[in-house]
Amino acid sequence: MDRVTISLDDLPIRDDLRGLKPYGAPQAPLPVALNVNENTHPVPADVASDILASIGAALEQVNRYPDREFTRLREAFAGYLGGGLVAEQIWAANGSNEVLQHVLQAFAGPGRTAFGFAPTYSMYPLLTRATGADWVAGARAEDYSLSAASAAEQVRRADPDVIFLCAPNNPTGTPMTLDVIEAVYAASRGIVIVDEAYQEFAPRDTASAVSLLPGRERLVVSRTMSKAFAFAGARVGYLAADPAVVDALRLVRLPYHLSALTQAAAEAALRHADTMLGMVDEIVAQRDRISRELAAMGYRPHESWTNFVLFGGVADPAAVWQALYERGVLIRDVGIPGHLRVTAGTEAETTAFLAAMASIDSQA
């Protein structure tokens, strides 16, 4: 049978999806891949063994549907986050993107708007538009920071139904203080999502937005296991919020959306939280090393509380990206003029990246 060769425009796709592009970070089998902010450290062997055993036990009953409410996993997440949280305040899904999608499905949709401060995580507008809502972008200061007064005023003017606060921010790494979150919440009427995907890489004494949940029924704090827990391939994200928000998310989730195998793997990883988080200090050390050495080369690294570094002073980002690619190093061009972003990898990966950058610089 002949292969169908019509274009996307020939299909009866929704009008609001026409012209959009899917999320697509480059994937290439290069020796040093530092482009999508993964934790490049493998799961420790003893933890992997426990995870495998837990998955094996779950397989024995895989003919049955999993616990639809993933009760044990929610209890484990509540214990990990602390702050007096209980299972009824926790939700989880297949990666934090699905968690955010659930929130948008419940609280955004056609005729509603979602808002974020650009530049920020590129999936926010994609998820927003895919659920039929309109995306509105606010502005950051020149150094990508946000003041409480500016953030609150922009939110008041936009009056959105859902607000995204990426804390720390992706792709810039910029910290966000709790006073900004408090001001935005006070200035809004909609759901305020604080995306703490990189919270574990912030300084140890930094308070989480989880501490702001009491008395704020429209506040949602989202997390992921992909980064600090080296669980990107397992696809597990979660959030903490008022139990009523969690009830709203039940209305839009697919039945049995978290498989028994996913639940078993995540529960096992959380039992080893201290070991899994032991990699964070090493990653932070490599992040700070990247910033120091790039600055010494004449680039302008931005302050980062994440596992990556955004750096400016790049005359031709496309050319530098390509030169690194040819040297076996994959980083990310996030579309900010004069900038590139690199994930902090292992010591060896960081050394390879910095050596490649030095060789490019020496030939400039």
**Cβ proximity of 116 and 108 under 8 Å:** no
pLDDT digits (tens, 9 = 90+) for 308-331: 999 999 999 999 999 999 999 999
Predicted model pTM: 0.95
pLDDT digits over 9-27, tens only?
Answer: 888 988 888 888 887 777 7
For residue range 97-147, list pLDDT tens digits in order: 999 999 999 999 999 999 999 999 999 999 999 999 999 999 999 999 999
Instruction: Read off the pLDDT of each residue in 250-270 and give the average, rounded to a whole number.
Output: 97
CA-based nearest residue to 151, from 174, 179, 126:
179
How large a percentage of the chain has pLDDT more than 70? 98
Q: With H, G, I as helix, E, B as strand and everything else as coil, classify residue 271.
A: helix
Look at the domain 45-272 and name its fold: Aspartate Aminotransferase; domain 2 (3.40.640)
Residue 138: what residue type?
A: G
Predicted pLDDT of residue 15: 86
Determine the pLDDT at residue 213: 98
CATH of region 8-43+275-362: 3.90.1150.10
CA distance 169 to 145: 9
- Name residues whose C-beta falls within 8 Å of residue 66's C-beta, 6 or more positions apart in sequence: 256, 258, 259, 260, 263
pLDDT of residue 56: 97
Residue 278's pLDDT band (boundaries 50, 70, 90)? confident
Summarize pLDDT for 165-203 with one digit per residue, the tens.
999 999 999 999 999 999 999 999 999 999 999 999 999
Model confidence band, residue 364 (pLDDT cutoffs 50, 70, 90): very low
Same fold, 8-43+275-362 and 45-272: no
For residue 352, pLDDT over 70 is answered with: yes
> CA-CA-CA-CA torsion for 290, 296, 297, 303, nearest 10 degrees?
50
Whether the pLDDT of residue 362 is over 70: the answer is: no
Domain ranges, ordered by start, for the chain: 8-43+275-362, 45-272
Do 151 and 180 meet the contact criterion of CB atoms below 8 Å apart?
yes
What is the arithmetic mean of pLDDT over 265-294?
Answer: 96
Identify which of 301, 299, 307 has the alpha carbon closest to the alpha carbon of residue 360. 299
Q: CA dist 104 to 99, 112, 137, 141, 325, Å? A: 9, 10, 16, 27, 36
What's the average model confidence in pLDDT over 251-260?
Answer: 97
- Distance in Å from the first CA to the final CA of the chain: 53
**What pLDDT is stored for residue 361 in this prediction?**
67
Only one residue has tokens 């005729």, namely 111
pLDDT in tens, 55-75: 999 999 999 999 999 999 999
Give me 11's structure tokens: 């299909």
pLDDT of the residue at 28:
77
pLDDT at position 363: 44
